[in-house]
Structure 1
Amino acid sequence: MTIETLNNQNNIRSILFYSKVLRERWGFTPKENQYSDLKSLRDEINSFITQPKYPSISKIELISSLNKLNKINIIDIDLFNWFKDDPITTSFVWGYICNNLELILSIKYGILTHQNTSTSTYEKLNLNKNPASHEERIKIIISYFDYGFIDENGGMKESILKDIQKKWYHASNDVREFKWLSNDNHESIHWAFDYLLKYNTSETNKIDNDFNLFKEASTLPLKLFKPINIKEKLIAIYSALQLWDCHHSEKKMLLSNMNKAWQQKMLRKERENQKSINCYVNSDVKIKLDELVTYKNSRINKVLSDIITEAHAYMIIEIKNQK
Structure 2
Amino acid sequence: MEGVKESARKHDRVLEIYSRLLSGEIIRKQEMADEYGVNPRSIQRDIDSIRDFYANRMDRHGELTEIQYDRIAKGFRIVSAKTITLTNAELFTVAKVILESRSLCKEEMEKIITDLIGACLPTEERKKMNELLQNEIFHYVEPRHGKALINSIWELGTAVYQHRMIQMEYQKVSGEVSNVNIKPVGIMGSEYYFYLIAYIGDKDKEYPGYPTVYRIDRIKKYRITDERFHVPYKDRFEEGEFRKRIPFMFTGKLHKASFIYKGADINAVLDRLPTAMAERREDGSYLVTVEVYGNQGLNFWLKGQGENIEINENKEKVVSV
TM bracket (short chain):
under 0.3
- Using structure 2 for the length normalisation, give the TM-score: 0.20
The answer to which structure has the higher helix fraction is: 1
User: Larger C-alpha radius of gyration, 1 or 2?
Assistant: 1
The answer to which structure has the higher strand fraction is: 2
- Using structure 1 for the length normalisation, give the TM-score: 0.20
